[in-house]
Amino acid sequence: MASLLLNTFYVITAASIVVAVLIRYFVLRERQFRDVSSSLHLRLFRILLPQDMGAEREGQQDNSKKLFLTMEQMYAGFLGLKRTKRKAAFYGQPVVSFEIALPETGGETVLYAAIPNFYASTFQKLTHSMFPDSRVEPAEDYNMFNAEGITKASHLVLERDALLPIHTYERIGHDPFAVIAGAFAKLNEKGEGAAIQILMRPTSGSLNDAGKKAAKAVREGKNIKEALATSKKLHPWLVAAMAMLGFAPSGSSGGGGTARQEIKQGDEEVARLITEKASRTGFDVNIRLLASSANEDDASRILRELEAAFLQFTEPQGNSFKAMPLEGRALERAVYNFSFRIFNPLARMYLTTDELASVFRFPYAGSEAPRLQMLTSREAPPPANLPKAGLLIGKSVFKGEEVPVYITPDDRRRHMYIVGQTGTGKTTLIKNMIAEDIEKGRGVCFLDPHGDDVRDILGLIPKERVEDVVYFDPADIERPMGLNFLEYDGRYPEQKTFIVNELLEIFNKLYDMSVAGGPMFEQYFRNATLLVMDDPSSGNTLLEISRVMVDSDYRQFKISRSSNLVVKMFWKQIAEKAGGEASLQNMVPYITSKFDTFLANEIMRPIIAQEKSSFRLREIMDNKKILLINLSKGRLGELNSYLLGLIIIGKVLMAALSRVDIEESKRPDFYLYIDEFQNVTTKSIATILSEARKYRLNLVMAHQFIGQLSKEIRDAVFGNVGTIVSFRVGVDDTELLQKQFAPVFTAGDLLNIDNFHAYIRLLINGKTTRPFNIESYSPAASNKAVCEAVRDLSRLKYGRLREEVETEIARRQEKFG
């Protein structure tokens, strides 16, 4: 019977063990699945703070404390994540992770936050409300591991009872975050990575009652170790065992009154610390430290530096962190948990909100945190009355919310000015605007001084607009297009005066005629040009201006065909009779030298010496066609590129002014885009900006820096332009631009704004609005095949065979009349 009972006991025991093992297996498996599932529902954010967050250095200490208190409030806000006991039993408590990381590819140390999906939006709003100038943006996960190197890791534990606090910011006296961030600054640029991961979750219990009991026990005269044991209701025999192991005094020392008094004074301070910690809310926390490098020594060195940064939190009368190195399977598990951001209950610590704020908080103004990625420029909210339709120019990104930014047709008529250094995103913005204008059937002209961008635009032409394209590529020497600046509409004889004046301005810009010219040059130049233009049928190009100067017979023929008495009088009574330096023979080389540079050029002559321009600007404007101009300085040379650009701008303005014969309301809008506009505009830009609106010629002008503009043109731009867009600029430009964007943005913002981000002072309903920031959209991919097809069609329609052009020019030179 006894044997049967014993066997039954063994069977039941064995079965119980098997059941317990199976239960534990399935529980652990379920927990692992739950942890991984939870980690996949975390959203990673990159946190950027402005370099001057907090205030000026004079109040640095006070503002530091305010920021610590703000961080405490943020952590306290996470208590709202706590689930009920029933939900926690099935799903666990949600985990939040704050991380400081430097990828092994080098660069800057970055602050990250991994937040449960259901709380992500709230977290962004909470952060923005507490740190108004911060930027919280979604981020791709990073990699701090050297794939071919060695990884070292440790996790932190509290050396003493969780009731005892660590050294917090109120008592440290310096910026603890700067010490932690400084550890990352010692890493090599590449091949070394490091991360500190701070996981927190709402705790299932509270230390409040235990803390009160411990503090009371101390004040009643008990030793701190005994008080801590009493607070947790430990059995007396366990207290004795702890004493024997050195964790608590044995009580048999029989010390005198003095010794007891010293202990009591120390324990009274500890009692105060315990009371303070117990009065605050807290979290279960994991802190992991990881380092990776090409070799074991360097990885160990990096890890030691990270661990050393946490020694500053040692509280002599309280607690401290202790680094527990991880090796073998424990290391593999730690790397796995780090990667999936899984909370390890076996390594949890209890830290209060002030302790967490001491360990991790956002940097403030003057904080010494080298290599830490900071927010270099501010954001500002868009105006409440943003248009809902129009031309899409970008998106406003403020506090994580994206809003499309449009500009209306009427506000575009007051022009747009874009400034920014090379590579900051100006051209991307311009190409996006042009592409939309083309897609929406609008008339467009784009002057590209580089050539690449205009080809990108060609590759974006919709098939229904292919026939509208005029692609002017002066470097196409096989089929050159004609561009005759002296060509004018006979219905508007006043255009002759405009052409002469503009041509003088062009040569003044190219050669600085205040030095290379003078009154006599202008007199001869003006009368020679007017003489040529008075009878277009006998030759009316820049080539003929040189000819009337050097060819006496041709000049006499032109004079005989002229109806302008003042011009005829000049040539008969003044030029041909003048002597000395003002004599005709002295003035001829003085003037023709300016033209020969272009007329002798194999690329330029077939273009500017054609009598009929291949395209008419007035027709292009009225019929909403697309004029794309490739003024590549690399292929044409700067001087040739500038001359052609100046001529085209002059002809565009002349065509716009001729629209006086159409009612204003019936004039189609035409959009003129000019990159590096300082090279192709004269003083007439002031006329365009002030008068072109009524003729529906709308400008978008872009360039690199304000110093490129003369004072006259600069004043005309800032005095007349409705919308101003500033990408990143240099120091010299901030003085003037800051006035345009104050008080919202500072000089530092203008100097440091990221590429493809800009500040804009947008005109809305004819009124200037408060500046805000925009971000450009990525441009659409250009189709190379479409580009080639559109180019070929345009050159066949508008270009002429070079041999035919050269033959015509030669024939004009051989005879006249």
pLDDT digits (tens, 9 = 90+) for 107-164: 889 999 999 999 998 898 888 888 888 888 899 999 999 988 999 999 999 999 888 9
Q: How far apart are CA 790 and CA 456, in angstroms?
A: 12
Q: How far apart are CA 393 and CA 308, in angstroms?
A: 50
Q: b vs e for 389-417, b when ≥16 Cβ sit within 10 Å of the residue's Cβ? A: ebbebbbbbbebeeebbbbbebbbbbbbb
The strand pairing partners of 392, in sequence order, are: 406
Euclidean distance between the first and the last CA atom of the chain, given in angstroms as a whole number? 143
Q: Which residue would you say has higher pLDDT here, 381 or 171?
A: 381
- The reported pLDDT for the residue numbered 590 is 77
Q: Average pLDDT for residues 411-421, to the nearest whole number?
A: 97
The answer to whether 139 and 113 are in contact (CB under 8 A) is no
Residue 29 pLDDT exceeds 70: no
Q: Give the position of tokens 């004493």.
A: 243
- The reported pLDDT for the residue numbered 18 is 67
The strand pairing partners of 283, in sequence order, are: 202, 351
Q: Average pLDDT for residues 784-810, to the nearest whole number?
A: 94
Instruction: Specify the range with the lowest mean pLDDT, choosing from 36-50, 132-146, 168-182.
Output: 36-50
In Å, how far from its chain's centre is CA 444?
Answer: 28
Average pLDDT, the chain: 85
Residue 549 pLDDT exceeds 80: yes
Q: Average pLDDT for residues 245-251, to the nearest whole number?
A: 38
- The reported pLDDT for the residue numbered 39 is 61
- The reported pLDDT for the residue numbered 260 is 34
What pLDDT band is residue 234 in, cutting at 50, 70 and 90?
very low
Q: Which of 526, 548, 478, 489 is nearest to 795 (CA)?
A: 478
Q: Average pLDDT for residues 433-457, to the nearest whole number?
A: 96
- The reported pLDDT for the residue numbered 26 is 52
Residue 253 pLDDT exceeds 50: no
Q: Is 171 helix (H, G, I), strand (E, B) or coil?
A: helix
In order of 150, 216, 298, 650, the CA distances from 333 in angstroms are 15, 41, 22, 72
Q: Average pLDDT for residues 364-373, to the nearest whole number?
A: 70
- The reported pLDDT for the residue numbered 366 is 55
Q: How far apart are CA 316 and CA 418, in angstroms?
A: 60
3-state secondary structure 286-348: EEEEEEEECCHHHHHHHHHHHHHCCHHHCCCCCCCEEEEEECHHHHHHHHHHHHHCCCCHHHC
Give me 477's structure tokens. Answer: 């020497």
Q: What percent of the chain has pLDDT over 90?
A: 56
- Helices 2-39 & 328-340 angle (0-180, nearest 10): 50
- Tens digits of per-residue pLDDT, 453-510? 999 999 999 999 999 999 999 999 999 999 999 999 888 888 999 999 999 888 888 8
Q: Which residue would you say has higher pLDDT here, 589 or 391?
A: 391
- Tens digits of per-residue pLDDT, 266-320? 567 777 888 888 888 889 999 999 999 999 999 999 999 999 999 999 998 889 9
Q: Which residue would you say has higher pLDDT here, 671 or 173?
A: 671
Residue 436 pLDDT exceeds 50: yes
The answer to whether 422 and 409 are in contact (CB under 8 A) is no
Cα–Cα–Cα angle for 418, 419, 424, nearest 5°? Answer: 105
Q: Which of 342, 82, 354 is nearest to 204 (CA)?
A: 82
Give me 449's structure tokens. Answer: 């001084």
Q: How far apart are CA 132 and CA 140, in angstroms?
A: 24
In Å, how far from its chain's centre is CA 742?
Answer: 20
Q: Average pLDDT for residues 517-532, to the nearest whole number?
A: 86
- The reported pLDDT for the residue numbered 189 is 75
DSSP string, 492-508: -TTHHHHHHHHHHHHHH
In order of 657, 675, 745, 770, the CA distances from 381 in angstroms are 39, 29, 12, 9
- The reported pLDDT for the residue numbered 248 is 39
Q: Average pLDDT for residues 49-62, to the nearest whole number?
A: 56
Q: How far apart are CA 205 and CA 2, in angstroms?
A: 47
The answer to whether 343 and 199 are in contact (CB under 8 A) is yes
> Phi and psi of 658, rounded to 5°?
-75, -10
In Å, how far from its chain's centre is CA 560?
Answer: 65
In order of 52, 773, 782, the CA distances from 726 in angstroms are 21, 9, 26
Residues sharing a CB contact under 8 Å with residue 425, sequence separation 6 or more, in sequence order: 727, 755, 756, 757, 758, 776
Q: Which residue would you say has higher pLDDT here, 40 or 445?
A: 445
